[in-house]
Amino acid sequence: MKRNILIISLIIILFSLLFISCENLRKQSKDTDLTIFFINDNHSQIDNFSKIKSIIDDAEKNGNVILASSGDIFSGNPIVDYYSEKGYPVIDLMNRIGFDVMTLGNHEFDYGQEVLQDRIDQAEFEIICANMISESPLLEQTPAAVTISAGGLNISFVGVIETNGKPGAVIPSTHPNKLNDLTFTDAKDILDDYSAYKDDENSDLLILLSHLGHYYEGAVTSDYSVAHDFPFFDAIIGGHSHSIEDTTINGVLIYQAGAYLNYLGKISLKIKDRKIVSEDFKLIDLEEYQEKDEELHTLIETYNSNPAFSEVIGINDIHLTRNRTVGCFYTDALRGYLNADLSFQNPGGIRADLDVGDISIMEIYRIDPFNNGLLKYEMNVYDIKAFLEGTGEGFYYSGVIIENDPESGIIIRDQQGNIYSDDQVLSIAINDYIPAVYEEYFPEPVNMYDLTTADAMIQYVRSMTEPLLYESCNRFFRYEE
């Protein structure tokens, strides 16, 4: 009896090996076409998803198609970010289009772990990340990688996220308080684990689905450095840096498709003997593309029709740009709302311009989509200088005049030009993200408010009796030695 079982087992093994060999020979016998469409960093923008569905539906009639996202699908559009189920409209639309896989981006954590888990549960596509370990009761461990079959091909994806969110820590660029019980590893320290993954999975291609950014100076891990150090990947489909990439480094193809759902990346590949024998990249401009799926377009219009966001709360007389004058308005608003001496704001926390004319609630939430809390501190001038000098970061500010002096270092003056002494205590209005990232420079807050910075800005604008007018304003400071 045992001998019969052994013979049957050997026959099964032989047939399995024969099948794999035949499958590999079949793959080697001809070129196989594959099209990978992808987006990255749409930041809750949804309007062009109906066009993407039209493109994908047409492509699937003619060939093998995979649809991927390189992360940051959330944060940037109040319609999505303040929906009753935060972020759900994006997941709903991606499900309906038929996405296959995405990697986590840093802004996927902006709503908190519990909300992220809810969205992962609702997703009908794989969400992966290889350099995160979860021991959190709120967020389950995501798969590190996934292999997707398309037209007889097996395409393996490994997902990674950037970890440059805080000096001295290895975390993504989101609010540190939202990452409790999660451990992140620099992608360069785990990627060698996947050097044999292509063979292990009997895959035709191994692709890194990256939210690292394409290039940074120094030792920061990026798509370019990964291609240089880990050339066993056939391609890298990237995100985070909002760039347009179509290049090859060390034999590794690198792609990225801008941001905010303005573009759809299309990678057309011919694959033979588990290698790419030809490739073509096309960047589809979705603003110019006209065809749309009407059913999805109607759903998007339904999502966009929330009347709460159209309420007018004030007037703006001059267009404000996010890279300077919105910073003046933002810091004035926080300082004015809390009646503080001083306010700071990080440039990355300002995400939109402010147009001339009526100011709606929607516009404020577009400027500040991150749901950060509002804090008030009391700090002496010496410690404020230490914060500015020690971080070396640039901040918008309000309420004082801050200067770099080649001999004296940082000088802080009142609005009449009088120099504050180092022991002068000032009250500071600030979002709760900055002290969480640079916690060593801040004491305990004197007050924590039960509202977001965006809500404070809305209340400030409501209280104004005159239109906003920032004809010229450049209150931005970065310490220079």
Concatenating the DSSP letter of every residue in 307-370 gives: GGGG-EEEEESS-B-TTTHHHHHHHHHHHHHHT-SEEEE-GGG----B-SEEEEHHHHHHH--S
pLDDT in tens, 236-256: 999 999 999 999 999 999 999
64 pLDDT more than 90: yes
Rg over alpha carbons for the chain, rounded to the nearest Å, is 26
19 pLDDT more than 80: no
Residue 29 pLDDT grade (very low, low, confident, very high; cuts 50, 70, 90): low
* The predicted structure's pLDDT at residue 218: 86
* The predicted structure's pLDDT at residue 481: 85
Instruction: Find the CATH number of the domain harbouring 112.
Output: 3.60.21.10
Domain boundary (304, 336, 366) is at 304
Instruction: Find the CATH number of the domain harbouring 368.
Output: 3.90.780.10
Q: Of the given ranges (16-20, 38-42, 157-161, 268-272), which has the lowest mean pLDDT?
A: 16-20
Domain boundary (304, 322, 357) is at 304
9 pLDDT more than 90: no
Strand extents, DSSP E, 4-136 = 32-39, 65-69, 101-103, 126-128, 132-134
Contacts of 84 (CB under 8 A, 6+ apart): none
Residues 230, 345 within the same domain: no
E strand or H helix that includes residue 378: strand 373-380
Is 252 inside a domain boundary? yes
pLDDT in tens, 284-308: 999 999 999 999 999 999 999 999 9
Residue 448 bridge partners (DSSP): 375
Domain interval for residue 421: 310-477
Q: What's the mean pLDDT when you consider all of the chain?
A: 94
Residues 431, 459 within the same domain: yes
* The predicted structure's pLDDT at residue 472: 86
Residue 18 pLDDT grade (very low, low, confident, very high; cuts 50, 70, 90): very low
Is 92 inside a domain boundary? yes
Using CA atoms, how far apart are residues 216 and 248, in angstroms rounded to an integer?
17
* The predicted structure's pLDDT at residue 25: 45
Residues 38, 103 within the same domain: yes
DSSP 386-420: HHHHHH---EEEESSEEEEETTTEEEEE-TTSPBP
Residues 263, 353 within the same domain: no
56 pLDDT more than 50: yes
Residues 144, 247 within the same domain: yes
Domain boundary (289, 304, 319) is at 304
Is 402 inside a domain boundary? yes
Is 2 inside a domain boundary? no
pLDDT in tens, 412-462: 999 999 999 999 999 999 999 999 999 999 999 999 999 999 999 999 999
Beta strand 205-211 pairing with 153-161: parallel
What sign results for the dihedral spanned by CA atoms 395, 399, 376, 455?
A: negative
* The predicted structure's pLDDT at residue 4: 53
Nearest C-alpha neighbor of 284 from the set 258, 306, 305, 303: 258
According to DSSP H, which parts of 29-109 are helical?
49-60, 78-81, 88-97
Q: Does residue 471 or residue 358 have the better pLDDT?
A: 358
Residues 268, 129 within the same domain: yes
Q: What's the structural domain count of the chain? A: 2
Residues 263, 321 within the same domain: no
Residues 231, 325 within the same domain: no
Q: Does residue 24 or residue 388 have the better pLDDT?
A: 388
* The predicted structure's pLDDT at residue 30: 79
Show the CA angle centred on residue 158, arms to residues 66 and 256, nearest 5°. Answer: 60
